[in-house]
Structure 1
Amino acid sequence: MTTLAGTDPAPSRVDAGMDEVAQRLVDSSLVASRNAMTEIDWTAPLDPDKHGCSPEWSALYGTAYWEELTDDQRVRLTRHEMASVMTICVWFEMMLQQLVIRDQRAVAAHSPEFTFAMTEIADECRHSLMFSAASQRIVGRSYHPSPKVARMGRVFMNVARGEVAYAGILVAEEILDVLQRGSLGDPRVLPLIQTVNEVHVLEESRHMRFAREQVREAMVGAGRFRRASSAVLVALGAEMIVINLVRPQAFTDAGLDRRRAVGEMLANEHRHAMLRGSCVHLMQFLDEVGLLTPAASRIYRRCHLL
């Protein structure tokens, strides 16, 4: 796995208090943060042969449809897929920002926990601007979840508290993280997207560490019913993320047969295997903290994360 300078991939220390962990993350953010809005030349021409993501991470890679596509069609497809992933993640991140802000209302404003939480919010605002600018630059548009999923998102945002909120944040960020890490260093991918991925992977490593510690702390002393209900809510949130990353409209915009493309994506065993393999550590963590119950596991298997 690619590791970037400034990331914190080491396992969490269970005996480390939240303030200690948060202070380390604040210190890291002061020396290892980037701003793609000023770092990227957004007017530079795009190489017509470069993809939006590594071809192996395309939702159609490994299908009969993929084999029928020309190189130009594959490039166009991966760009629309990445634009869909990025702008759907803007929607998720806006929800997650609200969860963090709500959770921090009662936290002492001078504490390292509060300081890092506000740093994370600032990071996420920049990420949303970065994703929206990148999608506009590579395909000229953005994508949105279906009305049904938008309603489900509002429900999740209203009911998520404690471990559900932070595990939801962790799941969303982990899924995007593995997709972006899969394209790091790939010369076939647009340099603009490479930089976007590098910035997000670097800063999200801190956000995921913070979320893991919040989940650990919230689960201390959690009873059986709470663990069971929280596990299912987190799993449903994960399923909502996975099934919406690549919107059907992205296939249409790429010039493909929408119905066929969606059907082959949903049945694509290569994609399923890539998702399962990349989420092993996430599933191990959820199991460790008591959020991988049999009912939750069935949902993760249904969306091919387990």
Structure 2
Amino acid sequence: MSRSAVMAWNAIDAATTSNEILTSMSIVIEESTRQADLGDSLPSSGSWSGPGYQAAAEGFTARSRQNLQIADLLFDAGAALRRGLEEMHYAAVALLAQAEAAEDAGCIVEDGWTVRARNAADDDAQVKVATWQQVISRYLHQLEQADRTTSLDVQRVLLEAAPSLGPHLVSDGGGYTLQLKSKGEHGPDTSDIGPRDVAALLRECFNCYFPVEGAPKEFPDVGDELPLVIDIPDGMGPMQAPVRVTEVVETDDDFSFEFVGLENHFDGEGSTVRFHFWNDTEQLRLNVYANTTDAPVPDYFNARVAEIVWGRFLGNVVSASAY
């Protein structure tokens, strides 16, 4: 944490921006969940009732409950991040002020926070250096402590929520992995849908099933550039996601394709995302592996939004293949 880095980074702006982004994501998930409320989409009387209705109702209720937990998680994490970044801001301001005071007193504070005398020949040069080095080190420690506390507070929020959110999402640090299943407890039988079936479907009409604006009708080839735009409502989108296709694999056991982010991609240029369709002999599955270089929010929250989008992708494929 160099002096130049501390001077260049405005933690108070980061606190405001991060909290606004996470709060907006929380609102998006909560409002969309409530709009798809069980009472509107699965009426308890009328044309549909019985065991099928009951099974679907239980599934919708469980998913709605989980989505609302995610919304609460985003809100709590945003608040924790805002508090932590504000503390870091004040610690950084205090540290920089002490560095200026040391230089006013005849010292030089280097980029790595080492203090040395401006004029080593002065009689009190060594005393000044020792005194101000102790002061600078103490204030630097306070900033580093604020940084660690922020990290621990956000991790605490995530860990407290983790048991209720399921094991299908793994944060890798600098990316995430989604492990999506097509069947579910009451879903259609997808045991006979293989990777080549998915490939044939997507080659017939890619943007019929890939739920992102800018996707072409024809399945893209390696080297093709796609001007993708992910539309997230309520102030979060549209988010630019231009990509280039870097790999396509099609075998009996694996249909996968990979994109790399181009300039202006919201996850950062050079970010990658890989889609891997496979069948575990019981059901069709989709794994999504993402590596981010400059995501605007932590990977865990980025993955939650991705889960909605890519879950829809898998759902589109299953709907076209299993019925």
Q: Is TM more than 0.5 here?
A: no
Greater relative contact order, per chain length (Cα 8 Å cut-off, separation 6+) = 1
Q: Higher helix share goes to which structure?
A: 1
Structure showing greater radius of gyration is 2
